Amino acid sequence: MALAGALLLSTACMVGPQYKRPPAPTAAAYKEPLPEGWKEAQPNDGAIRGKWWEIYNDARLNALEDQVNISNQNVLAAEAQFREAKDAVRIARAALFPTLTGNASVVNSKTSGTLVNNRVGAFSPGQLTTYNLPLDLSYQPDLWGNIRRTVKQSAETAQATAAQLENVRLTFHAELAQDYFQLRGADNAEDLLERTVKSYEEFLQLTQNRYKSGVASGGDVAQAQTQLETARAQLIDLGVARAQLEHAIAILTGKPPSELSISRALFKTPPPPVPLGVPSLLLERRPDIAAAERNMAAVNEQIGINRAAFFPTLLLTATGGFESSHITEWMTWPSRFWSVGPQLSELLFDAGKRHAQMAQAQDAFDLAVANYRQTVLTGFQQVEDNLAALRILAQEAQAEDAAVKAAEESAKISTYQYKAGTVSYLQVITTQAIALQDETAAVNILTRRLVASVGLIEALGGGWDASAMPTVTDIVHGK
């Protein structure tokens, strides 16, 4: 173990470029101002910690989120990929050590009688049994660092896989939370429409009574009936979206849809503030950025591996054992044999293959750099998008609340006027339709705010930090 660590850390004989993280585009501050009521996070508070979904104070959501890491099949698949990547490190690391092969054999043979040269006596016809026990030892010294680079490349790939695992966890935790809040939005919409249907039923009864009294026309009754049935249809239609969201949540928690039912509950609380921190911290807090950076480092190792192919390789071999034609003499000292010697080889002509492989590795590194920088830019875009959504939706919520109050007051006034006979029923259904439209918009805005809040947490990395990623040394030594 110590020998492997010393070989891995030694770079005196390693050819090829040493990795340095390329710069990525960052900003001193986010473009979007904070939503009203938020404040800048202090340096020590600029991260989301622990189970981030607990900031919403919803016990049902917390219970569902706890099932993601345990039962979600995509998460379990990502965990298996990480273990597979660590196994690949062990495979690559084995090349740092000699290999020893043993092979015991007992061979019966008979020489051809027609090959006998009686005059010279070069061959002796007959049957022969040979007892053989050789041990073959071979070792390829890592003169140019290609083996060490291969080990490090595998370890850096495992680091990237570890970061990808965290990104998968974050993605599905966020998806579950967003589905959950959309489901609660459907619950709020159902509650609104149920209250609306009840109100429209009362108005239908009112118009029918007025029609029987000769005060209202049959057209008023028909309009009231149409408005009621339209609201009922909208209420029924909400069941489709809610059922699908419930099914999606079941799958995210690793259950078939038939095993999960979520009772209806209303959610009126706006999203809580989310600590941001400075933009430069995003490079360390998003697992997808960390994975892209580690992939870039792994590709850099391939350049060194391809560079080492231009130098000769040294192979040390030794063979020894026992060989005899009599079993009683097989393991005796006189039956021993051995051979030992180095072998130096160099590829003299390959029609430009190695140069092409070097160019290919450099192109792959350039591609990895571009992918890394694009991942960083995408991360900043997602943060800015959700900040903008939260800020604008908060302002829209205030305006919509005022619109709801005004619409409710207008509906009350038109109702009184209709009962007094000063306005037609068309005025009543118009104000009622506006009131329903505004209340529905308010429900949708709250749902969008909660979904954007989860999106912001996901864009900020969900409380993960690159320091939680296993180091190359830990992975190489199986920690």
Residue 121: its pLDDT value, please?
A: 47
Among the listed residues 187, 168, 176, 183, the one whose alpha carbon sits nearest the alpha carbon of residue 251: 176
- Asked if the model's pLDDT at residue 211 lies above 60, the reply is yes
User: Is the pLDDT reported for residue 14 higher than 70?
Assistant: yes
pLDDT of residue 9: 41
pLDDT at 7: 41
pLDDT at res. 125 = 58
- Do 307 and 148 meet the contact criterion of CB atoms below 8 Å apart? no
Contact 456, 390 (CB under 8 A): yes
pLDDT tens profile 232-274:
999 999 999 999 999 999 999 999 999 999 999 998 999 998 8
The pTM of the full predicted model, rounded to 2 decimals, is 0.86
- Which secondary-structure segment (H or E) carries 128? strand 126-139
For β-strands 126-139 and 336-345, DSSP reports them as unpaired
Residue in 360, 361, 311 with CA at minimum distance from that of residue 13: 311
What is the C-alpha to C-alpha distance for residues 447 and 168, in angstroms, rounded to an integer? 24
- Least Cα distance to 380 among 288, 270, 273 occurs for 288
Mean pLDDT of 289-299: 96
Task: Note the pLDDT tens digit of each residue in 390-440.
Answer: 999 999 999 999 999 999 999 999 999 988 888 888 899 999 999 999 999
For residue 106, CA distances in Å to 56, 123, 300, 323, 336 come to 75, 22, 50, 10, 16
Closest alpha carbon to 433 in 236, 231, 232: 231
Per-residue pLDDT reduced to its tens digit, 148-165: 999 999 999 999 999 999
**CA distance linking residue 315 with residue 303, whole number of Å:** 23
Answer yes or no: is pLDDT of 46 > 80.
no
Q: Which of 263-268's residues contact partners 24+ apart within 8 Å by CB, and which partners?
A: 264/187, 264/190, 264/191, 265/60, 265/184, 265/187, 266/184, 266/187, 266/188, 266/191, 267/58, 267/181, 267/184, 267/185, 267/187, 267/188, 267/446, 267/450, 268/188, 268/446
Express each pLDDT in 114-137 by its tens digit: 655 555 444 455 678 888 888 999
Strand partners, 126: 111
Class in CATH terms, 2-98+144-312+353-476: mainly alpha
